[in-house]
Structure 1
Amino acid sequence: MPRYSVEEFIEQTSQKDLGEGKFELERDRLLEVNLDGRLWTKKGTMVAYHGDVKFTREGVLEHGLGKFMKEAFTGEGLSLTKAEGEGKVYLADNGKKISIINLQNDSFYVNGNDLLAFEEGIDWDIKLMKKMAGVVSGGLFSIKLEGTGMVAITTYYDPITLKVNKDAPVYTDPNATVAWSGNLKPDMKTDMSLKTFMGRSSGESIQMAFKGEGFVVIQPFEEVAYLTNTP
C-alpha cells in the first residue's frame, strides 16, 4: 500500500483542471462540473462544491403535471436537484463508475437509477414499460434524453455496449440494463428454462428483449434497487 507524507498525499490526490469542458472526470467515480448557468443532477449526489452555487430540489410541478404524475408513480429514485450559478460542483453516486456522453441531436434511454446529471438544454421525459407492471414492483421506468448537450451516467464496474440488429436481437436482465438507443422499444420476455440457471428460486426469469437496429448498455452487476425504485 502506498505511503505518503502529507505534502505528497496532497499533490497526489489534488484536484486538477483537465480543460475538457463543462463535464470532466476528475476520477473515474467522481464528476467535476464547471458550472456556468444551470444543471440537473440526481438528488443526493453532490459531494462538494465551491463558488456561487445554489441547489434547489425540483419543484412539484416544475416540469409539468404529466411528469409530476409519472414521478409520483416511479418513486423518489428519480428526484432531481437543480444547481445554478458559477463554480465547480463534484458529483458521485455510491462509488459507481461514471461515463460522459455528449449528445449531438441524439436520443437515448437511461435507467432512472443510473442517470447522474445532464445539461439544462436537453429534453427529457419518463417512460414507463407498462408490460412490466405487475411483474416488477412499480413497473420498469427509464428516462428518455434527447437533444444536444452532456449527460453523465453511472454503472457498477465498466459498462459494456452490445450492438442490436434485425438479425441479432439482444436479451438482457433488467437489473443489469443501463441504457439503450432512442429508436429501440424493448419488450418483456419470460423464460422458465432460465429460472434455475439464473439462480432464481421462484417465478419466471424476466428479460428485456431488444429488436431492431441500435445498441444496449449493460453492467456486470444486478442492481436490485433499479427494480424496487429505492433512492
Structure 2
Amino acid sequence: MLLLIFITESGVFYFTIYLHKYFSMIEIGKSRLMNLMMRGDSFMSKYSINQFIQQTVQDKAGQDFFQLETPRILEVNLRDKVWAKMGSMISYNGKIKFERERVLEHGVGRMFKKAFTGEGSSLMKAQGNGQLFLADAGKRITLLELDNDEITVNGNDLLAFEPGIEWDIKLMKKIAGVMSGGLFNVTLKGRGMVAITSHFEPLTLLVRPGIPVMTDPQATVAWSGHLKPEIRTDISFRTFIGRASGESFQMEFSGEGFVIVQSVEETISDRNSSS
C-alpha cells in the first residue's frame, strides 16, 4: 500500500494506492516468461521454421494400412500393393514400383465397359514396401472399411482401395447415366479399406422405403451398393446431349440405404483436370 498526501489551498487530500495486486501480476508475468525461456520458446518462435515443422511433421506412430496424415493427404503403409487413382501420388519412401492399369488386366468385359462409359480416371498399381502419400486436388478424404459390404463410388471420387477388394464398373440402365457429364461409377465389395474424396465435408442422406432421394449426378459421391439409381429428366434426348448443367436431370434413389453428396458440382473439366 502506498499513501500519498497533497496539501492545497482547499485543504489536505489523502490518496491511498494499493499496489500489491499490480506487483503480483508483474511477478506472474515474469514467471511465465521464465517458463517460456526454459522451454526454449519465445514470442516470435510460433512462426519459426522449427515450429512449422513440429506442427506439420509426418505422424510416424500409426501403422495402419490406410491412415490420414491430414484431412486431404492419405498415407498408405505399403507392404504389398494398393490400387490408387492415376496421378494421385505426391510422395513416397522405400522401394515402390508404379504401374498403370493395363488394358486387359481385368478382362475384356471390363475393358469394354471402360470404353463405353468414357472413363476419365484410370487406376495405377503401387507395389512394394514403403510409405506412399496420396492426394487428389486438395479434396477431403474419407476412409471406409468394408466388412463384406458393397458401395458404389463415382469414379472421379475414388482415391484408393486395398487389393483384396473386388471392383467393377457400374453401368447405368439408361444412356442418360452414361452421358451425364462423363460420369462413371465403380462398385466395390468385400473386406478392406477404401478411400474416397469429396469437395469439402461430405453429407450422407438416408434413403428410406417410400421416400426416394433425388441428387445432382455431378454432386453425388457414393451410395449403398444395392441401391439402383434411376435417371430422371424431362428434357428431350436431342437437347440433353452436350448439356453441362446437372439440375436438368437428377438421380433418384429408392429403397433403403444411403447416398453421399458433396457441396460442389464437378464438371467435365474438373474430372479431366484431376484425373
Do the aligned partners of 1:179 and 1:217 also contact (CA within 8 Å) in 2?
yes
- Give the Cα separation in 2 of the matches to 1:130 and 1:84: 35
Identity among equivalent positions (%) equals 58
Displaced runs of 4+ in structure 1, greater than 3 A? 132-135, 137-140, 200-204, 226-230
> What secondary structure does 1:12 align onto?
helix
* Equivalent in the alignment of 1:174: 217
- Give the Cα separation in 2 of the matches to 1:3 and 1:23: 31
Structure with larger Rg: 2
Report the AA paired with residue 211 of structure 2. Answer: A
> Within 5 Å, which residues of 2 pair with 1:25-104?
25-75=68-118, 77-104=120-147
- TM-aligned CA deviation for residue 225 of structure 1: 2.8
* Larger RCO: 1 or 2 (CA < 8 Å, sep 6+): 1
- TM-aligned CA deviation for residue 202 of structure 1: 8.2
Do the aligned partners of 2:80 and 2:128 also contact (CA within 8 Å) in 1?
yes
* Equivalent in the alignment of 1:196: none
- Give the Cα separation in 2 of the matches to 1:147 and 1:48: 28
- Give the Cα separation in 2 of the matches to 1:191 and 1:133: 12
- Give the Cα separation in 1 of the matches to 2:228 and 2:115: 23
User: TM-score, length-normalised on structure 1?
Assistant: 0.88
- Give the Cα separation in 2 of the matches to 1:128 and 1:50: 37
- Structure 2 residue runs of 5 or longer lacking an equivalent are 1-44, 236-242
User: TM-score, length-normalised on structure 2?
Assistant: 0.75
Deviations 1:173-213 (A, max 9, x none): 00100000011000011257xxxxxxx99897200000001
Give the superposed CA RMSD. Answer: 2.5
> What secondary structure does 2:99 align onto?
strand
- TM-aligned CA deviation for residue 74 of structure 1: 3.1
Instruction: Give the stretch that moved more between structures: 13-22 or 136-145.
Output: 136-145
* Equivalent in the alignment of 1:9: 52
Give the number of the structure whose residues are more often strand, by fraction. Answer: 1
- TM-aligned CA deviation for residue 94 of structure 1: 0.4
Is the alpha carbon distance of 1:219 and 1:18 closer, same or farther for their aligned partners in structure 2, counting shifts above 3 Å? farther
Residue 164 of structure 2 is aligned to residue 121 of structure 1:
yes
Do the aligned partners of 2:154 and 2:220 also contact (CA within 8 Å) in 1?
yes
